[in-house]
Structure 1
C-alpha cells in the first residue's frame, strides 16, 4: 500500500468516527448543534494559538537577523494582549451560545420525569389517562422542545444523548432540568455517562422521536 492510499485509509477511519448513534459530531438537535459549534470555534482558536505561542517562543531567542526580540514585546504581546483578546471572545461567544444550548426561556411542549436507578432509566409523562412510565425508552414529539427533569433513586448517574444535547447529572435528592429537541423523527441512543457500579455499561436507553401522526396515536393509546 502506497503512502497516498495509507493517508486515504487514515482519513476515512477518522471521518468514520464522526458519525454513529453516539457521536456528538453528528448533531440532530439545536443543543447538540450548539455544542458542536462551540467545539469547532474553540478548535479554530486553539490551533492558531498554539502556532503563535510556538512562534513567539522561537522568536524569544533570536529573530531572522540574529537579534533578540525585546522581552517587553514578548511578554505584553504573547502574555497579555493575545490571551486577553482570545479569551474575551470565547467568553462572550460561550455565554451567548449557552442561551441556545440550555434553551433558557423556551416553553416546553411536554414534561418528562427521568429517574435513574441501578441500572435502569424510568421515564414518566402525564397523559389524559394518567401517568405513563416506560423503562429505558423516552418518547418525545419530534421538532418540539421537551423538558426532562432528571433525578436518581440511589447513586449519581448522568443522562446523555450525544446527538441531542450535553450531559446532565442525576443526583439523589435533587432534580436537574434539561431541554431536549430532536429535529427529525427517529431513534437516538442515550447512555449513563457517570460510572455507577458493575452494571454501568449496560445502563443505556433510547429516545424515540415521533412524527405528529405517530405522536397523536401514541398519546391516544394506539400503536403508532
Structure 2
C-alpha cells in the first residue's frame, strides 16, 4: 500500500505544477521569471531543511557530537551563520529577478499592443484602443502572440486583482486608478485568468480567458472563427 500511495502522491504533486492556472507552467517571459524565482526559493529552502535535519540527526545518533557547543553558540553558528549565506544569495537573486520585471515596465517597445481591462462584480470587460472598430469583449481577452501587450487595469466598484498565471504576475484593479501590466504570450493558444482578490460572493466565478492569436490582425477580429 505504501508504494502505491507514494506514487499517487507524487503524481498529484507533479500535476499541481501544470495546468491552465499554474504559475509553474509559464508561457511568457514574465511568468517564466516568477516561476524561476519560485523554484530557486524551493531549492534554497530544501537545502536549509536538510542542513538543519542533518545537524539534528547528528546530535542524536553520533556520539558526543556537539556536546561541547554551548546554547549560545548553537544559536549563533547554527541559527545565523549557517543559513545566512544562502539567504543573502537568495535575496540578491530575488532583487535581480524583480529588476527584470521592472525593466519590463520601462519605456514601451515600438510594437506594443494596448488593451484596457475593466473589472466589475463579477466579470471583466476588455476594450482595444489599438484595434479601431473592434467591439469590446466580456470575459475573453484577445491578444497577439509573441508581442508585448500593455494592459490598463481599472475597476468600477471594489478592488479586484487581474491575474493570468501562465503569462505574468498579478496587479490590482483599483476604483478611480489605472494600473498597468505588461506581459507576452510566447505562442498562440488559450490561457486562463482569474480575479485573485476577494471581492464578494461571486469572486470564485470571476474568471476570464485569454486567446493569443498568431498576429494582431487576427486578435483584432471581434468574433474569431479560429477557435470554433
What TM-score, normalized to structure 2? Answer: 0.85
Task: Provide Cα deviations, 1:99-143, integer angstroms capped at 9, x if missing partner.
Answer: 333423362511111110111111111146357421111111101
Match for residue 200 of structure 1?
Answer: 203
Q: Which runs of 5+ in 1 are unaligned?
A: none
| Structure 2 counterpart SS, 1:205 | strand
d(CA) in 1 for partners of 2:72, 2:196? 47
1:79 is paired with a residue of what secondary structure?
helix
Q: CA deviation at 1:56?
A: 4.5
- Equivalent-residue separation in structure 2 for 1:82 and 1:106 (angstroms): 42
Question: Structure 1 pair 168/129, CA: closer, same or farther in 2 (3 Å)?
Answer: closer
Tell me the equivalent position of 1:105.
106
Distance 1:120 1:128, change over 3 A: closer
Q: Assess, with a 3 A threshold, how the Cα gap between structure 1 residues 47 and 207 changes in structure 2: closer, same or farther.
A: same
| Contact 1:60 1:74 (C-alpha < 8 Å) held by counterparts | no
- List runs of 5+ in structure 2 lacking aligned partners: none
Name 2:26's counterpart in structure 1: 27
Instruction: Tell me how far 1:169 sits from its aligned partner.
Output: 1.1
Where do 1:56-205 residues align within 5 Å?
56=55, 64-65=63-64, 67-71=67-71, 73-102=73-102, 103-105=104-106, 107-108=108-109, 109-127=112-130, 129=132, 132-205=135-208
Q: 1:181 to 1:53 in 2, by over 3 A?
A: same
SS in 1 for 2:136: strand
Taking only aligned residues, the RMSD between alpha carbons, in angstroms, comes to 2.6
CA distance in 2, matches of 1:62, 1:129: 73
Q: How far off is 1:72 after superposition?
A: 5.3
1:61 and 1:17, CA in 2 relative to 1: closer, same or farther beyond 3 A? closer
Counterpart in the other structure of 1:52: 51
Partner deviation per Cα, 1:122-167 (whole Å, 9 max, x = no partner): 1111146357421111111101111111111100111111111121
Q: Any conservation in 1 of the 2:125–2:136 contact (CA below 8 Å)?
A: yes
Q: How many residues align?
A: 221
